[in-house]
Amino acid sequence: MFIGFVGFVTLYNAGMYRLQQPFFGIDDFFALVKAGTLSHLIAAAVGFAIRGRIPGDPMETYSRIVLAMSWLLGIVMLTFWRLGFDFLLTTFRRRGMGLTRVMIVGEDDFAMSFHDLLEENPELGYCPVGLAPKTDANTLRERLKAEPVDEVMIAAKETDPDWVMQMMGICQEVNVRFSMVPTLFHVLTSQIQVREVAGVPIFALEERIFLRSSRLLKRTIDLLLALSALAVFSPLIGIVAILIKLESRGPVIWKQTRVGKQAKPFTVYKFRSMRADAEKLQGELTHLNEAQGPLFKMRNDPRITRVGRFIRKFSIDEIPQLFNVIKGEMSLVGPRPPLPSEVDQYETWQRKRFEVLSGLTGLAQISGRSDLSFDETLRLDFYYIENWSPLLDIKIILKTIPKVLLARGAY
């Protein structure tokens, strides 16, 4: 009974009973393990403190084996319960039930892409009822009174503080929840520290780029996992090499210059997924580019071979980059390395992503891959740089596996 109460409190504090996010992911599992471990440690400590003090049981009031079994079974059962609950919740939401009716306020590409993201993924729990432009306060007030809206979400790159305050006041007036999607500025200043000088608050950005000990730890993890992955994938590497050679002429391994840490160029390795003359043909396809910013992406690129389309879909073409990791030119996790032609179009602030090693996977790859815009990718890269930890790397690697197997956002 006591363990159950403490477990409930710790799980509640970890946000495990909130319905905003329907997916039981790696973060939730670690929170569950932490809560289960804490509750059982407290129970063990209490049992030890009262040991021998209860009448009728002078020798022992608890069993270590029972506690250990309770801890293990509790984690297993809670995990299956959450997975089952999330499956049912996702099913209901995909059928249009239990959704939060949200009005997206903004008129730029960022607002439109976020609106489309929510519309295409009802399992996230939102149902966009419209994309409202940044209008005056009275216009929005009348619209909120006329339409059934549960939440107003500001998703504009540029917002005036006075206008935002007006929107907050209107939402409170009509009893509608108010929220904002973080812009690039919010991500860049996610590590702001507040100091006081002569009674005046001073905001300072705390840089958290990897310390030497952190770089050594990250490098050790990279080497151990990269060597292990090469041993596991060695049969697959041979099969893919034969298929590529049988389908089209050209080298099996495709080498390309990319830009890595400190904006230094290096040679990246990939299985060739396109025709040998693919780079020469890109100029003829520029007008068909589907990506925003300096990126070039096409959903149905005619240069991709049949084998190439398959290995791209499941990211098998990236396996040779494990050699880049072993050489120290890349990390397993980090921002993806861009082309020199893309870097030439970068603005100064966008070069922040070169402060760390490029990675095989990253936050962008587990958050949408090719479906993300350039600005969205940068926001995720900057968040990773400022919030790195070994646990974050492990979480990203574990979340990459289902993304690759389900081939979401890859082309």
CATH code for the domain of 153: 3.40.50.10700
Is the model's pLDDT at 25 over the cut of 60?
yes
- Kindly state whether residue 189 falls inside one of the protein's structural domains: no
Q: How confident is the model at residue 160 (pLDDT cuts 50, 70, 90)?
A: confident
User: Whats the size of the chain, residue-wise?
Assistant: 411
255-269 burial, b if ≥16 CB within 10 A, otherwise e? eeebbbbeeeebebb
Rounded Cα gap, residues 347 and 327, in angstroms: 29
pLDDT (tens digit per residue) in 97-131: 888 899 888 877 778 877 887 888 888 888 988 88
Strand pairing partners for 185?
A: none
Q: Please indicate, yes or no, whether residues 161 and 75 belong to a single structural domain of this protein.
A: no
Closest CA to 296 of 228, 237, 345: 345
Q: Please indicate, yes or no, whether residues 279 and 218 belong to a single structural domain of this protein.
A: yes
Q: How confident is the model at residue 365 (pLDDT cuts 50, 70, 90)?
A: confident
Output the six-digit token pair for 294: 């300096």
Q: Please indicate, yes or no, whether residues 163 and 235 belong to a single structural domain of this protein.
A: no
Tell which of 59, 94, 129 closes a domain. Answer: 94
Q: Which domain holds residue 352?
A: 212-406
Q: Please indicate, yes or no, whether residues 263 and 386 belong to a single structural domain of this protein.
A: yes
Backbone φ/ψ region at 271: left (φ over 0), alpha (ψ -120 to 50), beta: beta
Q: What percent of the chain has pLDDT over 70?
A: 73
CA 59 distance to own-chain centroid: 51
Q: Please indicate, yes or no, whether residues 309 and 348 belong to a single structural domain of this protein.
A: yes
Q: How confident is the model at residue 403 (pLDDT cuts 50, 70, 90)?
A: confident
Output the six-digit token pair for 238: 């041979």
Q: Please indicate, yes or no, whether residues 341 and 382 belong to a single structural domain of this protein.
A: yes
Mean pLDDT of 343-364: 87
Tell which of 37, 68, 94 closes a domain. Answer: 94
Q: Please indicate, yes or no, whether residues 266 and 387 belong to a single structural domain of this protein.
A: yes
Q: How confident is the model at residue 323 (pLDDT cuts 50, 70, 90)?
A: very high
**Burial of 172 by CB count in 10 Å (0-12 exposed, 13-18 middle, 19+ buried)?**
exposed
- Kindly state whether residue 194 falls inside one of the protein's structural domains: no
Structure confidence at residue 236 (pLDDT): 93
Is the model's pLDDT at 362 over the cut of 80?
yes
Q: Please indicate, yes or no, whether residues 116 and 233 belong to a single structural domain of this protein.
A: no
Mean pLDDT of 141-163: 82
Is the model's pLDDT at 224 over the cut of 90?
yes
Q: Please indicate, yes or no, whether residues 72 and 10 belong to a single structural domain of this protein.
A: yes
Q: Please indicate, yes or no, whether residues 89 and 128 belong to a single structural domain of this protein.
A: no
- Kindly state whether residue 199 falls inside one of the protein's structural domains: no
Q: How many domains does the chain have?
A: 3
- Kindly state whether residue 186 falls inside one of the protein's structural domains: no
Structure confidence at residue 274 (pLDDT): 83
Q: Please indicate, yes or no, whether residues 34 and 171 belong to a single structural domain of this protein.
A: no
Evaluate whether 281 touches 301 at the Cβ level (below 8 Å).
no
Structure confidence at residue 200 (pLDDT): 57
Is the model's pLDDT at 32 over the cut of 70?
yes
Rounded Cα gap, residues 13 and 18, in angstroms: 10
Q: Please indicate, yes or no, whether residues 242 and 386 belong to a single structural domain of this protein.
A: yes
Run of H or E including 182: none
- Kindly state whether residue 218 falls inside one of the protein's structural domains: yes
pTM for this model (two decimals)? 0.57
Q: How confident is the model at residue 206 (pLDDT cuts 50, 70, 90)?
A: low
